[in-house]
Amino acid sequence: MIKAVRGMKDILPPETARWQQLETVARTVFACYGYQEIRLPLLERTELFSRSIGASTDIVEKEMYTFLDRHGESVTLRPEATASVVRAFIENRLDQGAEVKKFFTIGPMFRYERPQKGRYRQFHQINAEALGGEAPELDAEIILLLLDIFARLGLTAIELVINSLGCPRCRPAYLLELTALLARQVRDLCEDCQRRSASNPLRVFDCKSKVCQEMLAQVPTIADHLCDQCSWHDQRVRELLNRYGVPFRHNPRLVRGLDYYTRTAFEVVTTHLGAQDAVAGGGRYNGLVKELGGPDIPAVGFAIGEERLVALLSQQEVTTPAPPLVFVAVLGTAALDRGFDLVQTLRRQGCRAEMDFGQRSLKAQLTMANRRGAAYVLILGDQELAAGEAPLKNMASGAQQVVSLTDLTAIQAALGGKGA
Ligand code: HAM
């Protein structure tokens, strides 16, 4: 038996219905906020990610699916979508006009991480990216958008955590101070952090080791080193969130696993998913468009982890009732032919309709209908075709009524309103 690749899983019914539900909700909310869909390749040149996410991040150092294509070019299965959105933005000259350009994209990402509950090697994200706006209102707006998606899904067990990571004006001085502090206590740090303390010191804040955490609790944070503009921006974002009654926790030790962030950084976390507690993450990335060869354009965005969102929703048992199903049982070839038409017509009217083409006995078809959870069964044989009407059976109550085969509205009414 050939099995799926480790860390990559099939998403099967009925869970797929939940995926559809959350993507539909996201699309609806995106439309309200003026975000348009963008669809991007899964494969990009490797350089795109090393230059954007950062050469000394875990993602680029050890988690990318990178290989040489048949022409010897190094390509990578995208580990995230922001870099690709920016690449597409620059390549397709989407920067024309003064307004903020707002995009969303939904799809799979690939990271060679150690698989565990909530952490996969192929996972899916819903991404939002707003390019071309520097105002803190845009940060607040995109956070409100994210929380609107969660609210419409009825998700409650979550917490918004925010921080400011400063900018190229104020962060370097802080990093120097942090590096010096870490260098003095380097022997107390775990092996990973010993390495990070020189190459990417902010990343030490993400270390899960207790020893490192205890040491870092004593270390000054970026919050005390923000320049006036970053500080003002941060205050304004928080003020707006407060104004809209959004509860959040300011965590001056929140850093993100990608290097491109400037100023606002945020995550939505939950205590219901074990170690993999972030359902979404994002922030501002003012230098990235320029870094990748485009104009000097500020931007902000987020990504939701769909697997984690689905897991949370399953725990909360948020379900959308499926429309009732009518199963058309057919006896004989003429009935099969007529049944095929009827099922197609009902489906076009938004009705969930099914049938079987195997010319099985009525009993076998009723068993099938039962197994599929059909609310109604319409029984079609030669006699019914001749009479132009057929019995419609309510599977729960056993009640039966005769419906005209030519009066679709009557059939739909019998199926309960629209029939869908
Ligand atoms: P990220 O924090 O790396 O950010 O990922 C966002 C979300 O994707 C996480 O909060 C988590 O829910 C989900 N996720 C990440 N890795 C995995 C995994 N291995 N298995 C399952 N779920 C996972 C980004 O990717 C940024 N591009 C977000 C962004 C957009 N920032 C600005 N714009």
Model pLDDT, residue 172: 95
Per-residue model confidence (pLDDT) at position 324? 67
- The reply to whether 241 and 376 lie within a common domain is no
Domain hosting residue 337, numbered range: 326-414
Tell how far the Cα of 186 is from the centroid of ligand 1, in angstroms.
29
For range 31-39, the mean pLDDT: 96
Residues 92 and 19 in one domain: yes
pLDDT of 323: 61
Instruction: Answer for the pair 329, 380: CB distance below 8 angstroms, yes or no.
Output: yes
Regarding the beta carbon of 80 and ligand 1, being less than 6 Å apart is answered yes
Please give the distance, rounded to the nearest whole angstrom, from the Cα atom of residue 57 to the centre of ligand 1.
14
Q: How far apart are CA 396 and CA 383, in angstroms?
A: 25
Q: Considering the domain boundaries, does residue 209 fall inside one?
A: no
Within this chain, do residues 61 and 150 fall inside the same structural domain, yes or no? yes
Measured from the Cα of 113, ligand 1's closest atom is 19
Interval 160-168 mean pLDDT = 97
Same domain assignment for residues 160 and 303:
yes
Residue 321 has pLDDT above 80, yes or no: no
For residue 417, name the pLDDT band (cuts at 50, 70, 90). low
First to last CA, the chain: 40
- Average the pLDDT over 43-69 and give the result: 96
Cβ–ligand 1 distance for 257 under 6 Å, the answer yes
Picking from 254, 286, 313, the residue at the C-terminal end of a domain is 313
Residue 274 and residue 352 share a domain = no
Q: Domain tally for the chain?
A: 2
Render pLDDT for 249-302 as a digit per residue (tens, 0 to 9).
Answer: 999 999 999 999 999 999 999 988 888 899 999 999 999 999 999 999 999 999
Residue 317 has pLDDT above 80, yes or no: no
Are both 56 and 110 inside the same structural domain?
A: yes
| 213 located within any domain | no
Strands 352-355 and 325-330: parallel
- Nearest residue CA, atom 12 of ligand 1? 305
What is the structure's pLDDT at 418? Answer: 44
The per-residue b/e assignment along 387-415, b for 16 or more CB within 10 angstroms, e otherwise, is eebbebbbbeeeeeeebebeebebbbebb
Q: Considering the chain, what percentage of its residues have pLDDT values greater than 70?
A: 97
> Does residue 174 carry a pLDDT above 60?
yes
Q: What angle do CA 335, 337, 340 make, to 5 degrees?
A: 100
Structure token pair of residue 324: 């009732």
Q: Mark whether 25 and 147 lie in a shared domain.
A: yes
In a domain, 176, yes or no: no
Residue among 84, 79, 45, 42 nearest 61 (CA): 79
H-run or E-run covering 110? strand 101-110
- What does the alpha-carbon distance between residue 176 and residue 197 come to, in Å, rounded to a whole number? 11
Position 97 confidence tier, pLDDT thresholds 50, 70, 90: confident
Place of tokens 């926790």: 249
**CA 414 to centroid of ligand 1, rounded, Å:** 47
Give the pLDDT confidence score for residue 420 in this predicted structure. 39
CATH of the domain at 393: 3.40.50.800
CA of 284 to the centre of ligand 1 (A): 14
Instruction: Evaluate whether 25 touches 147 at the Cβ level (below 8 Å).
Output: no
301 lines ligand 1 (CB under 6 A): yes
Neighbours of 167 (CB within 10 A): 19
Q: Is the CB of 54 under 6 A from ligand 1?
A: no
| Ligand 1 atom having least distance to the Cα of 280 | 10
User: Does ligand 1 come within 6 angstroms of the Cβ of 82?
Assistant: yes
The amino acid at 139: D
Pairing of strands 101-110, 36-37: parallel
Ligand 1 geometric centre to CA of 49 (Å)? 14
In a domain, 180, yes or no: no
Centre of ligand 1 to C-alpha 306, Å, is 9
| Residue 311: predicted pLDDT | 93
pLDDT at 325: 87
- Residue 63 Cβ inside 6 Å of ligand 1? The answer reads no
Look at residue 316 and tell me whether its pLDDT is greater than 90: no
The two tokens of residue 170 are 């104020």
What is the best residue among 22, 80, 101 to mutate for testing ligand 1's pocket, by most ligand atoms within 8 Å of CB?
Answer: 80
Question: Which residue type sits at 358?
Answer: G
